[in-house]
Amino acid sequence: MLDIQNIRNQFPILDQEINGKPLVYLDNGASSQKPISVLETWEKYYTTINANVHRGIHTLSQLATTEMELARQKVQKFINAKHEYEVIFTKGTTEGINLIAYAITNLIKKDDEIIISYLEHHSNIVPWQMLCERTGAKLRVIPMNENGILQIDVLDSWLNEKTKIVSLNQISNALGVINPVEEIIAKTRKLSNAFVLIDAAQSSPHLRLDVQKMDCDFLVFSGHKMYAPMGTGILYGKESSLNKLQPFHGGGEMIATCSFEKTTYADLPFRFEAGTPNVGGNIALGAAIDFMESVGLEYIQQHEHSLLEYAQRHLLEIEGLRIYAEKANRAGAISFNLEGVGISSDVGMILDKQGIAVRTGHHCAQPIMAYFDIAGTVRASFAVYNTFEEIDKLVEGVKKAQRMLA
């Protein structure tokens, strides 16, 4: 059993009133709150260490480098990467996907194929459309059914030598659906030589990740959704896969030698880390991993699953409430609408008046909204510090919204 009060005490932001009511923060899918240990690590970096990393001869620069490389090792362990140089610091999931979509450009020819899924965030759609525009490749989208479950059988006939990359999320941010990434990776390996990129933005806070077991080529996530500061993120790349790619950004840090005639590139991971990194943020990301491991990922997952089941059971008692992908295997979030209430933000505004923070709208996943023929949903998303009492408040708040709007 988790001592939730003890965990909540580590998140000072939770202890406040919003609109005269205790804050109920259920917008963790957009960004989670940060524990004191992360805030203190960040503050300590800026008050005692702050210096640019790598190549510095002076003590602070060396200290900053050591601390940041220690954070890289924590990430390596967190995702079970084989080598620490397979861990690349980015500013978030979006940058990680754009990096790969750009860095594989030279490997893509006209009429090659790129496969994504119906359940993607815009950041896993647009970079591939841009790649298709640059190269003449075609984008194919794994369809889903009305339960939000991907119809992955299409891959049996789609995957072939033309397929260059399959990119999809492990958990959909809009519906919370857990996708069968292992099965998709196995099919891809069997039927093609394509790369596989996993968008773990919504899974890294909730599930234990193991990139070696998963056997993906690339995996990306954002620190800010897993208790770390904004502007931090990770791109994991299998060594052999990263070595097939061209660099993304050119600049300092990523070169071995530079002259006007010719530049040679640095080894991994620095080849993909041009410019000054977010040193304090990256070190604090290491502290966020320490926080998660100290609570225990398995406990976090269990607790959030209980919250989700509890919320689902009680929300469904409200007549006229529809949960999207209700029958799918889900984690982290519940997406719903009230019958007769066309604008999800109206519900969000009424909840906000009661101190309850949820996200409303299209969740950067407009194709999913188009599939269900809706403008948006109300999404409640969970973190380790949420409580059953908070879910009760959400349910009461939704009932109130229904009385006012329907």
Residues in contact with ligand PMP by the rule CB under 6 A: 92-94, 121, 123-124, 169, 173, 199, 201-202, 222, 364
**β-bridge partners, 323:** 336
Q: Which lies closer to ligand PMP via its Cβ, residue 199 or residue 290?
A: 199
- Residue 266, judged by CB atoms within 10 A of its CB (0-12, 13-18, 19+), counts as middle
Measured between alpha carbons, how far is 64 from 58 in angstroms, rounded to an integer? 10
* Tokens read off for 179: 């996708």
Computed on alpha carbons and rounded to an integer, the radius of gyration of the chain in Å comes to: 22
Can you spell out the DSSP letters for 230-296? Answer: TT-EEEEE-HHHHTTSPPSS-STTSEEEE-SS-EEEPPTTGGG--S---HHHHHHHHHHHHHHHHH-
Q: Say which of 132, 216, 258, 364 is annotated catalytic.
A: 364
Q: Are 218 and 236 in contact (CB under 8 A)?
A: yes
Least Å from the CB of residue 204 to ligand PMP: 10
> Considering beta carbons, is residue 123 or 377 the nearer one to ligand PMP?
123
- Residue number closest to ligand PMP, CB atom: 173
Q: 120 is written with which tokens? A: 């993607």
Contact 54, 273 (CB under 8 A): no
Q: Is 216 a catalytic residue?
A: no
Residue whose C-alpha is closest to residue 320's, from 339, 298, 335: 339
Give whichever of 121 and 164 is closer to ligand PMP, judged by the CB atom: 121
Q: Which is nearer to ligand PMP, 159 or 234 (CB)?
A: 234
**152/144 Cα distance (integer angstroms):** 8
Per the listing, tokens 């009133």 go with 17
Nearer to ligand PMP, 166 or 341 (CB): 166
Smallest distance from ligand PMP to CB 95, Å: 7
Closest CA to 350 of 32, 21, 31, 29: 21
Q: How far is the CB of 302 from ligand PMP (least distance, A)?
A: 22
Q: Distance (Å, rounded) from C-alpha 190 to C-alpha 168? A: 18
Please, what is the Cα angle at 182 between 229 and 365, to 5 degrees?
50
In the complex, the smallest distance separating the C-beta of residue 199 from ligand PMP, rounded to whole angstroms, is: 5
Of the pair 94, 163, the CB lying nearest ligand PMP is at 94
Rounded least distance, CB 156 to ligand PMP, Å: 26
Is the Cβ of residue 197 or residue 201 nearer to ligand PMP in the bound state? 201
Work out the burial of residue 91: count CB atoms within 10 Å of its CB; fewer than 13 is exposed, 13-18 middle, 19 or more buried.
middle
* Alpha-carbon gap, residue 203 to 190, rounded angstroms: 25
Output the smallest distance, CB 399 to ligand PMP, in A: 28
Catalytic residue set? 364
